[in-house]
Amino acid sequence: MKVLVCGGAGYIGSHLVRLLASKGCQVVVFDNLLTGHREAVGDAPLIEGDLLDPDALRTLFAAHRFDAVVHLCALSEVGASVTDPYRYYQNNVTGTLNLLDAMRTADVDKLVFSSTAAVYGYTNATIIDEHHPTQPINPYGASKLMVERILSDAAAAYGLRSVALRYFNAAGADPAGDIGESHHPETHLIPNVLRSALGRSGALKIFGDDYPTPDGTCVRDYIHVNDLAIAHQKAIDFMVDHAGAEVFNLGNGQGFSVSEVIAAAARVTGSDIPFEWSPRRAGDAPVLVASSIKARKQLDWHPEFVDIDGIIATAWRWHSHQRY
């Protein structure tokens, strides 16, 4: 099978590229390298380009015959989406439409789409499944939900087969320690906690201590990046025998607050984590925890990393010897 991974030089994409190559797939990476890293791709061919460039996509699909496409290209900072929504809708929605148009012209009918738990917005539910109302509270989540709607319409109109994977919080790194999470600037909690432990940044900022949670800090479901990669591979296999547009949550089914993650990082690193309190960020939901029962049943997907200390330990191995 020949697979195009759009965004394959990024955090999740690079782990997926490694997994697919280990399974014998031919992998081609398409990435604008805005947040991705050439070094993370390994031996896979990398074509530098942008989904906002239809000509680049036409050239790409004319040069290769793909069996499936994985779409991980997105702007994903919640706060930035609130302050610059036009940029987020253009990149995340228009870019996806360009990709879908190129796929249709090339008669490629299978797409795995990187969606997000941000499509759910505020919720009082303890555990969120795929039937939970989708009411995004920021442009980032709204842009992802719009693409999910487009995929549903494309299934009915054109026969496109798709799987949208609603990630909760991606975390960790490949246990080998040679690829991992590297964003500039870094906005995700676990890498910023570890950067503080290493003395590479100032005190960690905790955004909000007055949420309706047991300790007042946001609660999130952390899923290991290698488990996410496996889910993408299983989604590709799923589409071979299943038509239509499907949606799956990907999470561990348990939540950890910001304060609990800091405590776990202190245990793993053996270091105190300096932090300071800051006001809430616009667009942050108090609690997001997944039910992944549907993915477990239909994709036969079972996360291997379920302990927060173990997830952080793999990230610590990467950040301690970060290469890019």
Write the secondary structure of the chain as one string of H (helix), E (strand) and C (coil): CEEEEECCCCHHHHHHHHHHHHCCCEEEEEECCCCCCHHHHCCCCEEECCCCCHHHHHHHHHHCCCCEEEECCCCCCHHHHHHCHHHHHHHHHHHHHHHHHHHHHCCCCEEEEEEEHHHCCCCCCCCECCCCCCCCCCHHHHHHHHHHHHHHHHHHHHCCEEEEEEECEEECCCCCCCCCCCCCCCCCHHHHHHHHHCCCCCCEEEECCCCCCCCCCCEECEEEHHHHHHHHHHHHHHHHHCCCEEEEEECCCCCEEHHHHHHHHHHHHCCCCCEEEECCCCCCCCEECECCHHHHHHCCCCCCCCCHHHHHHHHHHHHHCCCC
How confident is residue 194, by pLDDT bands cut at 50, 70 and 90? very high
Q: What is the pLDDT of residue 314?
A: 97
Residues in CB range of 223: below 8 A, 6 or more apart: 167, 168, 169, 170, 171, 250, 251, 252, 290, 303, 305
Catalytic residue IDs = 140
∠ Cα 127 128 131 (to 5°): 140
- In the prediction, which pLDDT does 147 show? 98
Average confidence (pLDDT) over 221-239? 98
Least confident of 60-64, 116-120, 242-246, 293-297: 116-120
* pLDDT one-digit tens code per residue, 88-123: 999 999 999 999 999 999 999 999 999 999 999 888
* Type of residue found at 193: V
Which pLDDT value is given to residue 188?
87
Rounded mean pLDDT, 115-144: 93
CB proximity list for 307: less than 8 A, separation 6 or greater: none
Asked whether the predicted pLDDT for residue 22 surpasses 90, the reply is yes
CATH class of 189-219+254-293+303-320: alpha beta
pLDDT confidence band for 231 (50 / 70 / 90): very high
The whole model's pTM is what? 0.94
What is the pLDDT at residue 324?
84
Q: To which residue do tokens 């036409």 refer?
A: 58
Is 80's pLDDT higher than 80?
yes
Residue 301 structure tokens: 């997907």
Exposed, middle or buried by CB within 10 Å (0-12, 13-18, 19+), for 214?
exposed
Percent of the chain with pLDDT over 90: 90
Residue 26 predicted with pLDDT over 80: yes
Give percent of the chain above pLDDT 70: 100
Architecture of domain 2-172+223-251: 3-Layer(aba) Sandwich (3.40)
Q: So what's the pLDDT on residue 283?
A: 75
CATH 3.90.25.10-classified regions of the chain? 189-219+254-293+303-320
**In the chain, ranges of CATH 3.40.50.720 domains:** 2-172+223-251
Cα–Cα distance between 152 and 171 in angstroms, integer? 29
Mean pLDDT of all residues in the chain? 95
Dig out the tokens for 48 from the structure: 């530098």
